[in-house]
Amino acid sequence: MSAAERRIETVRVELGARAYDILIGDGLIGAAGREIAARLPGARAAIVTDENVAARHAAALAASLEAAGIAATTITVAPGEKSKSFSMLEEVVDAVLAARLERGDAVIALGGGVVGDLAGFVAGIVRRGMRFVQMPTSLLAQVDSSVGGKTGINSPRGKNLVGVFQQPALVLADTGALDTLPVREFRAGYAEVAKYGLIDRPDFFAWLEANWREVFDGGPARAHAIAESCRAKAAVVARDEYETGDRALLNLGHTFGHALEAATAYDSARLVHGEGVAIGMALAHRFSARLNLASPDDADRVEAHLAAVGLPISTGEIPGELPGPERMLDYIAQDKKVARGALTFILTRGIGRAFIAKDVASSEVLAFLRTAMLPSGAG
């Protein structure tokens, strides 16, 4: 490992009294005890993780905490979205209480988005709020879900409908943990990396077009892409912590994406979140072009880049049958980002020029979907 790879990047999330650091670099799981002890002196900890991540990293984390004098208990949940449930919430809450942890102690989320969302919610409600440390081990979690304080579980009525805003005291993104990620999962996380370029960082998108292979290979380019993504998200979150305005920009590609996830019954064999976002971003750019807001060339460029890294860009690439455009519109209308019945979309005026469009006519969306959902792909 080169010296450059060992460098730790720090991104500050500016939230006043709730401000915190995101550290990004190789080897941070082994350094966790030192970093946490420095920020939360005297705290004990509960590590929340899933079976897969525990097998790879739990022992290293526990050893690091122990070496720093942090007493810790480990709570392991089943991997996958099913753990984002009321029953698992109750179980983990009880385990944290059983460990007799207090408000000043820390819940440490070691894992991907599911673990982070569940553990963060637990930290937010045990004794009305404990300290919380995010240790994301997937690319998606490192660049998206671990930053910004959104936590929660799913309801039978929809994903992420129940939760709290609970900012972590610290985020430790160990880029070395990504070395063992399956490529499909890495790619899915990459969709969110590309998203930040498309929202408001056109130079970053251009850099990704030129350097994505290095990002996939690991090393300094990967750490840079993660840090830049965290900076982009942190800037939006600092402007709008509780999602009353600008933060909706982070949903670029997500309105279509969530509808596709719902339409495929959240079956990860058919579609994972990041793939839905990739298709959604391609559709959002194509839809913007159809509305004469952006050039079709920009939609072409987005599709070309996402396809180059191996991400899907059209509904035709999803295995199995999909509902028709009318039913897809229903899924879109049910998405929680819909305010008081109006259809809100994140549209764009070009690469890095996304904006929040309220009151988009559902007839326009339907007409677009009829064209875009042809088996031949977006048109």
Q: How far is CA 222 from the centre of its chain?
A: 16
Confirm or reject binding of residue 86 to its own copies (CB under 8 A).
yes
Stretch that binds its own copies, among 91-99, 214-222, 225-233, 348-356 (CB under 8 A): 91-99
Confirm or reject binding of residue 164 to its own copies (CB under 8 A).
yes
CB proximity list for 6: less than 8 A, separation 6 or greater: 25, 26, 27
Distance CA 193, CA 223 (A): 12
Indicate if 285 belongs to the active site: no
Confirm or reject binding of residue 129 to its own copies (CB under 8 A).
yes
Confirm or reject binding of residue 38 to its own copies (CB under 8 A).
no
Q: Pattern 299-338, binding to its own copies, x per CB under 8 A?
A: -------------------------------------x--
Among 10, 69, 78, 155, binds its own copies (CB under 8 A): 155
**Amino acid identity of 31?**
A
Dump the DSSP string for 304-354.
Answer: HHHHHTT---SGGGSSS----HHHHHHHHHHSTT--TT---EEEESSTT-E
Among 19, 59, 78, 161, binds its own copies (CB under 8 A): 161
Whichever of 148 and 312 has its CB closer to its own copies, that residue is 148
Distance CA 364, CA 323 (A): 18
CB proximity list for 215: less than 8 A, separation 6 or greater: 190, 193, 208, 221, 222, 225
Whichever of 246 and 317 has its CB closer to its own copies, that residue is 246
Q: Pattern 165-204, binding to its own copies, x per CB under 8 A?
A: x---------------------------------------
Indicate if 195 belongs to the active site: no
Query: Is 257 within 8 Å of 306 (Cβ atoms)?
Result: no
**Residue the block writes with tokens 């990002």:** 215
Among 57, 84, 131, 150, binds its own copies (CB under 8 A): 150
Whichever of 59 and 161 has its CB closer to its own copies, that residue is 161
Whichever of 53 and 262 has its CB closer to its own copies, that residue is 262
**Which pair of tokens denotes residue 281?**
């971003």
Around 11, how many Cα atoms within 13 Å sit in the side-chain half-sphere?
27
CB proximity list for 10: less than 8 A, separation 6 or greater: 21, 22, 23, 24
Distance CA 234, CA 26 (A): 21
Please give the size of the binding site for its own copies, defined by CB under 8 A.
Answer: 34
Among 4, 16, 182, 340, binds its own copies (CB under 8 A): 340
Interacting residues toward its own copies by CB under 8 A:
42, 86, 89-90, 93-94, 97-98, 102, 104, 121, 124-129, 150-152, 155-158, 161-165, 242-243, 336, 339-340
> What are the catalytic residues?
128, 150, 192, 233, 243, 247, 251, 254, 258, 273
